A and B are shown apart, each in its own frame.
Chain A
């Protein structure tokens, strides 16, 4: 039998080997292309992506209080901190993980207002307001402690509470997202 007709005992590559490999590659390629939309459909839908920004008037939050608002399905803490709390977080300098000073976590001119996403950076529970060893928050799920700047100080959580993208649009109103 001639080699180019595919002698099964012939170890040299020939045209029959080529057609086996080409057919196999085409099948794999088609499978991947067909699978992609089936995987991709689980990514966020257009209506979920559209829920990007919200506005909130921070003057509603009295000194020493916190208001929890819902943004993209997650709680956002808007906390109006007391003078004593501000003094304490400033005196502590850059702490937490990553080490940050309080001024890096607020907007200039609105230092008393802290806006953070209220999800513990460990496994996502909502920390309890004004609890824990550092005057900030305490997460009941696995015992993480945050200070009044939302910086992680103790427990299994790896990172500080996340400060979302936000800006003061007019006076005391913030736009988050």
Chain B
């Protein structure tokens, strides 16, 4: 798709005048007419949904910053003022807060889509790496934002997360003091977190531009996972607009309905009640938990009995995604044709959810209440601690052992030669098959 030639023809005099000076209309027109594989399913709509999420967060964020005061004496009250006094402020705040959760729901689906269909494999490694970078920046941004209301969860989340950096041997302590701007989490910390929470979304936006640029250079993947040769472009692709703009639009509307349901009917369901208590530096809540979208990584942190080891494992859990394209040895892109890997993938998804579930439980609590067990090393075997360790082991084994080994050993199913072949070989007459392909589009 890198050789997609410009088909834009300026029609009016103004367009011709502009096109020879700044071809911005041509850029937009070429972008909208990009040849897109005609067999994309609804899992391919989450990129557009994520774009909507990013814009929603930036717009509501800029608006909230007009009323929020980044100072420990006023931060909590200024958020309550947004809720009570600013016209429609409650709506904007709830959209921004739930928007973060929606953003992560969409990004996890987006990432698992890429994993299943091999969208990280050559020639799409850079798209994947930029995506991992965006994911990491999203986590950082969401963390900084959660600190701003200066409630109990804000304060103690900031305390725990910054302390992770303090766990680094030798340089940890100076970096920790540098990050906090003092010996403890205080106004200096809140003030800089505000500045950085404003900045990072624009960095994300910049990386998103590179992500799309790489996508349009390497070409989109598709559920079959085969590259579309140039001579088949006309048969196997459709222009992005109006086919996929409209399809993405349908998905965006459905997603927005779920988003609106949360905002209007259960705006606090995904948050923690303790964040409605103003921050108290002298009292930690009895059970602090991170936001749901960080729970799997938090569980990995707690699974390791060593402080620095836990930090390393948690960052490694994200870091390993960056090298994923070189851990998968299979020549087949789509797991649709990888019967063995498909099973390990389903287990991986369940393990990821299991890690999230474990992250929300107390480590010492029994998994099966009342079941007798024994102490293994530092904890009861029948505890979330050991369940988390089991899941953590699978998480890393999936990338480090299962991917390279299964890729070499499994026998893949026959991969169709082109995007339209699986539809056309269905035994139907060609005319009916084309109609069917249109429907599946």
Contacts and interface: CB of A to CB of B under 8 A. Distances in A.
B307 A122 contact: yes
A140 interface: yes
Contacts of A125: 156, 159-160, 284, 288
B427 interface: no
B179 A42 contact: yes
Given A143-B364, A156-B305, A158-B307, A43 B181 contact: yes
B164 A123 contact: yes
Given A43-B178, A156-B307, A72 B183 contact: yes
A11 B362 CA distance: 66
B80 interface: no
Contact of B182 (A44, A126, A140): A44
Given A72-B183, A123-B160, A124-B160, A44 B188 contact: yes
B310 to A, nearest CB: 8
B163 A68 contact: no
Nearest to B280: A126
Given A43-B177, A48-B188, A74-B184, A123 B163 contact: yes
B284 A44 contact: no
A72 B182 contact: yes
Interface in B301-342: 302, 305-307, 310
B363 interface: yes
Contact of A73 (B163, B186, B306, B362): B186
A73 B281 contact: yes
A175 to B, nearest CB: 17
Interface string A104-130: 000000000000001000111110000
A142 interface: yes
Given A42-B179, A48-B182, A74-B183, A142 B188 contact: no
A50 to B, nearest CB: 11
A125 B274 CA distance: 15
B44 to A, nearest CB: 40
A90 interface: no
B376 interface: no
B183 A44 contact: yes
B302 A72 contact: no
Interface residues of A, number: 26
Contacts of B22: none
Contacts of B283: 126
A56 to B, nearest CB: 14
A143 B186 contact: no
Interface string A26-44: 0000000000000100111
Contacts of A122: 163, 307
Interface in B182-198: 182-186, 188, 192
Interface residues of B, number: 32
Nearest to A69: B282
A118 B284 CA distance: 11
Interface string A138-162: 0111110000000000001110000
Contacts of B305: 156
Contacts of B179: 42
Contact of B159 (A68, A123, A158): A123
Given A42-B192, A48-B188, A140-B287, A124 B163 contact: yes
Given A45-B181, A48-B182, A143-B363, A70 B284 contact: no
A79 to B, nearest CB: 14
A140 B285 CA distance: 8
Nearest to B363: A143
A73 B182 contact: yes
A70 B282 contact: yes
B263 to A, nearest CB: 31
A128 B204 CA distance: 40
Contacts of B14: none
Given A74-B183, A156-B307, A142 B302 contact: yes
B204 to A, nearest CB: 21
Interface in A14-60: 39, 42-45, 48
Contacts of B307: 122-123, 156-158
A78 to B, nearest CB: 13
A142 B156 CA distance: 13
B286 interface: yes
Contacts of B286: 140
Nearest to B161: A123
Given A140-B284, A140-B288, 15 more contacts: A44-B177, A44-B181, A45-B188, A73-B182, A73-B184, A74-B184, A75-B281, A122-B307, A123-B159, A123-B163, A123-B164, A124-B159, A126-B284, A141-B160, A156-B306
19 contacts: A44-B182, A44-B188, A48-B183, A70-B282, A72-B184, A73-B186, A74-B281, A122-B163, A122-B307, A123-B164, A124-B159, A124-B163, A140-B285, A141-B160, A141-B284, A141-B288, A142-B302, A143-B362, A157-B307
- Closest 6 A-B residue pairs measured CB to CB? A73-B184, A125-B284, A48-B182, A72-B183, A123-B163, A123-B160
